[in-house]
Homo-oligomer: A and B are copies of this chain.
């Protein structure tokens, strides 16, 4: 059974790690968000792809929730001492990945190829495909101005309310190599419990990818990132409130209008009536407290889609 998963960073990575306990990793293709990529200190950083990579290969720092385990910070400490750009927290081991990626990109390789080489070297089993090799970038329009994603998220601590989200470069972007084939060859398409606006929407902003989802012949299952109307971490709930008018499952579903067959939501969000535009709603415990909980969530989502007996 082939599974294609659209995913952002940490939450998505943890979901996919659970999924790999339910289906053969060789049958899973991850379509990763690249619209929060940035260039910092001359390095091309792909935070969502790396969250996935680190989480699935056991290199992630689980307590900190981002970056690598057993990390040191000597390069960035030096950068700070020298008055260089140190607002984006890059650990030494993490920098090693960015140095290699950046060099491959400078040699002319597309991001997909650079990602594949790094993933292969780290022994990643499922395919990890950037949604696009083109420079799609998320910008947040806020009362304080319009900011690139990481400036808003990291440098300004996502304190600014978001009035609108733009995906610069998306009109010209094409899907990365293998992405459309993975969607077309999938027995089920999943949308990980990631932020709809800044993790999933930038993937869907690539017209080819959205079109592939629209014309799907297999179920598409989204897992809501909210629990009791609140984001486990990050600004998804605040964004939904301001941009969609609320944080109910219906508001989440509206983000994926026309694309969803099944929505998986937490027990705390169980709606009193059917959700418009969703064929089926699965109510379960969605908090991924550990790998086993993530595995149960993935299994429930697959069961709900009718693709897991």
List A residues at the B interface (Cβ < 8 Å): 41-43, 71-72, 74-79, 81-85, 91-97, 99-100, 102-103, 106, 117-118, 121-122
Question: Nearest chain B CB to A92's CB is how many angstroms away?
Answer: 4
- A93 close to B77 (CB less than 8 A): yes
Determine the chain B residues whose CB is within 8 A of the CB of A71 once the complex forms: 74
Identify which of B75, B79, B91, B103 contacts A84 (C-beta below 8 A): B103
With contacts A82-B121, A92-B92, A97-B82 taken as known, whether A42 is within 8 angstroms of B75 at the C-beta atoms is no
Q: What are 15 sample pairs from A and B whose C-beta atoms fall under 8 A apart? A: A41-B103, A42-B102, A42-B106, A72-B72, A72-B92, A74-B74, A75-B93, A75-B96, A78-B93, A78-B100, A79-B99, A81-B96, A83-B117, A84-B96, A95-B99
Determine the chain B residues whose CB is within 8 A of the CB of A92 once the complex forms: 72, 74-75, 78, 92, 95
In the A-B complex, the 10 residue pairs with the smallest Cβ-Cβ separation, listed nearest first, are A78-B96, A74-B92, A84-B100, A75-B96, A92-B92, A82-B121, A82-B100, A41-B99, A75-B95, A74-B93
Determine the chain B residues whose CB is within 8 A of the CB of A85 once the complex forms: 103
Determine the chain B residues whose CB is within 8 A of the CB of A91 once the complex forms: 74
State the oligomeric state as a number of copies.
2
Question: Nearest chain B CB to A100's CB is how many angstroms away?
Answer: 4
Q: Complex: how many Å from CA A75 to CA B106? A: 19
Determine the chain B residues whose CB is within 8 A of the CB of A41 once the complex forms: 99-100, 103
Determine the chain B residues whose CB is within 8 A of the CB of A118 once the complex forms: 82
Determine the chain B residues whose CB is within 8 A of the CB of A78 once the complex forms: 92-97, 100
Q: Select from chain B the residue with minimum beta-carbon distance to A74.
A: B92
Q: Select from chain B the residue with minimum beta-carbon distance to A80.
A: B96
Determine the chain B residues whose CB is within 8 A of the CB of A81 once the complex forms: 96, 121-122
